[in-house]
Amino acid sequence: MPACRWWRTRIAMSLHKSLRDMVVSRGRGVVEDGSEFRAALDDYLTEDEVTIGELNLLSDAVRLGAVARLLDLLGHGATPAAAVETAGSSLARDRGSDDVRRATWALGVIGYALGHVPENLLSGDLDEETLLQPDRAPPMQGADTRPPVQAPPPPPDFATTGSPRSPLTGATILSDADAVLPAGTVTMLFSDIEGSTGLVRQLGTAWPDVLSEQRRVCRDAWAAHDGVEMGTEDDSFFVVFARAGDALAAAADAQRALAAHSWPDGAGVRVRMGVHTGSPRRIEEGYVGFDVHKTARIGLLAHGGQVLVSDSTAVLVSEQLAGGLRLRDLGEHRVKDVPGPVRVHQLVGPDLADDFSPLRSLGRAINLPGTLTPIVGREAEVAEVAALFTGDGTRLVTVTGPGGTGKTRLAIAVAEVLAADLADDVCFVALAGVTEVATAWTTIARSLDLPSDSHLPPKFFDHLAQRRVVLVLDNLEQIEEVDGLVRELLEGAPHLRIVATSRRPLHVAGEHEYALGTLSLPATDELPAVAASEAGLLFARCAARVRRGFEIDAGNAADVAALLRALDGLPLAIELAATRIRLFNPAALLARLDTVLDVDAGGSGGSGVPERQRTLRGAIEWSFRLLPPDQQRLLAWLSVFAGGADVDAVTAVAPADLGADPIDALLALVEASFVVPRYDVDPPRFELLVTMRRFAGEHLDHLGETRVARQAHAQHFGAWVTGLRDRARAGDAVAAEFVAELFNLHELLSHNHEPVIHPTEDASLTSLQLRSFAAGLATNARQIATALAWTESPRIKAGRAEDPMGYLACCLERATALSYGDPAACRAVLQAVLDELPTARTTTENGAGLVEAVSPDFIEAKTTAYLSMILVTLDLFDEAETYGRQALALPGLARTERSKLLTALSQVAMARDDFVEARRLILGLRELDQAAGDAWRLISDELLLADVEVRMNTPDRAHARLAAVCPRVRELGDIVLTIELASILAAALGADLPAPAARTFGAIETATAAAGMVDHEPDWTQAEHDRLRERLGAQLDEELARGKALSLEETIDELMSHPVPQVALD
């Protein structure tokens, strides 16, 4: 908003032309919405063109519908003069004002801007003949066709008080006869009512009395402290004082009196005030100059009840304030039309409001580096770190993590969030090139723009002690004794908050360490998973910047997923790799992954990137050089581990002449974020990211110790796996231990150690035996994928004669992996295993394998059962039943496979509508699960029985069973079981409670989508929907929509409130 100029008569009428330019620029639609029109006025008009009162009046003309009425009158043939007068009278009435002339002026100005009102009408120079002719305004386009500027308006008339009033604005003008104006340096006060337009609408006819009372209260305060009222317009004041202390005392008295006053209808009359000291130019009518405008701008930053004071006033009143008044430094702010930041203070004291939202400035003094792209994939982390400051009262958060994880970018994003609520100043301090504390103090002081004599404590804190400041201290790990510096900052500036980035925590009291991990990777190679992953989002955005139109699609999703995994989801590595997408497609880029450490950011517009971050190698090497030699060497040796290692393996493989305790060196590397600890397993494991491992491996080559390190690795794991095999043969449960080292063993074999170790001839362990052991113990998708790759390798295929059962075990795991996406291929592999099994059985002594997983009986039973299950998914029910019956009769069928098989066979029976057989199979399944004590499967069994009972048209039994199992489902908290419970319950009660059942199906749809279970829907759901449609008709859609907004628990509770039938259950 512009500053007030009520005490001056406008010399030339140019506002209407500026409005016309605005309409031409923005389009006529700008006058159709009050908020949009006001925003356009603020952006387009300058202080020399419009006053605050005029802005409010023009905005109200649009907001209250007066402009629409004007256009309607003109459209029905009214003359411009008549239309303006009628619409103006309506506007004045709607505003609760008796000043029709000003309202008419506003409608005339807007009418001219729209091309409907002639310019002469605005100055009253039209003759009667002209006034009778409608729409004589000049056309909207073309500067040459505009009418000339009119002469100045006639001299002001005088009200009964003797004060002149502007014929355009109606503003009171103070003449020299009214008061003696202070000369030289004066303190100016601007005030107006916050939300006055809303009050006009709220109070209606009571508004004039409220406005008059507000003026009286304020004038009493001005007069009590020798203030000279320069003018008032509507609810605004402009007052000058000879002394700054008087201005603040008057402001405080006015605010207290306004707050204590009893206003009609509970109205809250909240006045905002701005105070500034300067030397405006004295003219006949008052003051002019930039200081006048600055006063108004400061006032407009405030909220109702708040008094804001400029720095120039604050300096003068340091010794003048009394009565408990004081100033609170709110920091520097950017103010519209005022060059440079403006330091603002708030007047505080007894009985003055003190709790306000952030100022209405264009922004605080924010010194953060510009970012060319939005942060991607870190939104949750930004919110989490910001919440530590806003919720927990934390004052120091140190973001730690390996090089390239995006610590700096995250810290900047957090600071941007904190700037909105917690800071008067936000400052980024780059400390990567600083190694000494004294230099760090100076760097911080310069970033805060402190005077040169205040770069070190204690004077440093004279400027910071009372300011709410957020500091981003970037790269602290190389500064000696930096912990002391940070501790002193926090103690000396109680309102300071610090977001630090470092490879290692600072170990300062109150510090919250936030270990920043890598971006989430795709769960599968499917397009939706790749595109939605955090790493995928970042790669797609970065690649599109260098190759227009690039997208992750079905053709490249698998290659992108492999690339992202190879890059560990490391943001810097992804950004750098994406720069090469202009030359290579993702598959080719994956093949050239060895070069990723040296991809230069300068090749994609990264000329502004710090040298240490231009390549991933540079980012790692910069911190690597800070490590002592023993830690550098241990890091290099850790590169021989694949998938990490526990402490025992690290100490066993570490060089004997390391020169330090390997455990101490390992802990130091963890703290410095070179090694990633995994505490979710027992014992804890310590891993290197793939990119870090590549860098460390290169350093190991540089040291000339690669061969000896690999020999130490082979010796340790060879002895370890031989001992593990002996324990497995003795019946120990070793699967979890073996799987934890699966990739280390694969690494071992990849370097052609064959056999792995042979302390005695009969203890030798061939690579194929090791692989068959791994295949039999694989328990998750990652391990299955490894077994899958081993099965396809030429060496495995060539070793079929050496260990046929081991080979078939690998094939069985390959089939398991294929079952998730290619059931037909899975079926083919399983059939091949069964075809080859007789030959393998004749050449292998039963039970001679390393573990049961590769015994012929186990392989036959598991393969037959899996074949039955996969045939069910292919809807080949007859074959599925045949193989299923065979598997149930085989001696090697494990309990888990038997349970899964009974479930599959019950699905076959239900598909054939043989519900009696389905129920028999499920009861047998429940007996098996009861013996095993499997709580999850027992609940699933009850739900299967209820499903069968619904299909057998015995909904009462299903209802009773579901009521009994419901508490167990809720206690377990499993979403799959909860959705199944809700589905079957809705089907059971749909006939009696169709509307609640429909709402339940709506909630199921929402819950299923939220859980990512896109294909999870019982095959009878559509039929149930059809039955509900018969009962509810069009209401079904309404109930489904209502249900989508409810939780599953709410809809289940609603259905469960129906009386439960008293029936006996088996």
Q: From the first residue on, what is the mean pLDDT of each consecutive set of 10 residues in the chain (1066 residues)?
A: 29 62 76 78 69 79 84 76 82 76 86 82 45 35 33 30 32 42 88 84 85 92 92 85 93 95 83 94 81 89 92 83 86 74 89 78 61 74 90 88 84 85 78 85 83 80 76 89 92 90 89 90 89 91 86 91 85 81 81 59 44 62 84 94 90 92 91 84 86 87 91 84 67 68 69 35 39 44 43 48 67 69 82 85 52 66 88 88 90 82 88 89 88 82 90 90 90 82 90 90 84 53 80 89 90 90 85
Nearest-angstrom CA–CA distance, 114 and 140: 7
How many C-beta neighbours within 10 Å does residue 555 have?
A: 11
Task: Kindly give the interhelix angle for 100-113 and 80-94, rounded to the nearest 10 degrees.
Answer: 130
Please give the structure tokens belonging to residue 986.
Answer: 């809705």
- The pLDDT score that the predictor gives to residue 752 is 41
In 815-848, which positions are buried (b, 16+ CB within 10 angstroms) versus exposed (e)?
A: bbbbbeeebeebbebbeebbebbeebbeebeeee
- Point out which residues pair with 474 in neighbouring strands: 430, 501
Nearest-angstrom CA–CA distance, 309 and 318: 12
> β-strands 307-310, 363-367: how paired?
unpaired
Nearest-angstrom CA–CA distance, 239 and 189: 5
- The pLDDT score that the predictor gives to residue 681 is 81
- The pLDDT score that the predictor gives to residue 148 is 33
Q: Is 1020 exposed, middle or buried (0-12, 13-18, 19+ CB in 10 A)?
A: middle
Nearest 10 degrees: CA dihedral of 470, 472, 478, 482? 0
What radius of gyration do the chain's Cα atoms show?
40
Q: Which H helix or E strand runs over 694?
A: helix 690-703
* DSSP type of residue 299: H
The answer for residues whose C-beta is within 8 angstroms of residue 296's C-beta and 6 or more apart is 1, 2, 3, 4, 52, 190, 238, 274
Nearest-angstrom CA–CA distance, 862 and 898: 9
Spatial contact of 614 and 602, defined as CB atoms under 8 Å apart: yes
Cis peptide before 458 (omega within 30 of 0): yes
> β-strands 342-348, 307-310: how paired?
antiparallel
- The pLDDT score that the predictor gives to residue 802 is 58
- Point out which residues pair with 240 in neighbouring strands: 188, 228
Longest Cα separation, the chain:
124
* SS3 category, 976: helix
- The pLDDT score that the predictor gives to residue 332 is 76
- The pLDDT score that the predictor gives to residue 765 is 39
Nearest-angstrom CA–CA distance, 627 and 638: 15
Please give the structure tokens belonging to residue 430.
Answer: 């780059």
The answer for residues whose C-beta is within 8 angstroms of residue 865's C-beta and 6 or more apart is 883, 884, 887, 893, 897, 898, 900, 901
Nearest-angstrom CA–CA distance, 384 and 201: 42
Cα–Cα distances in angstroms (integers) from residue 85 to residues 56, 102, 261, 1047, in the given order: 19, 11, 38, 58
Nearest-angstrom CA–CA distance, 706 and 187: 78
DSSP H stretches of helix in 912-1020:
915-932, 935-951, 955-972, 975-989, 994-1010
- The pLDDT score that the predictor gives to residue 139 is 38
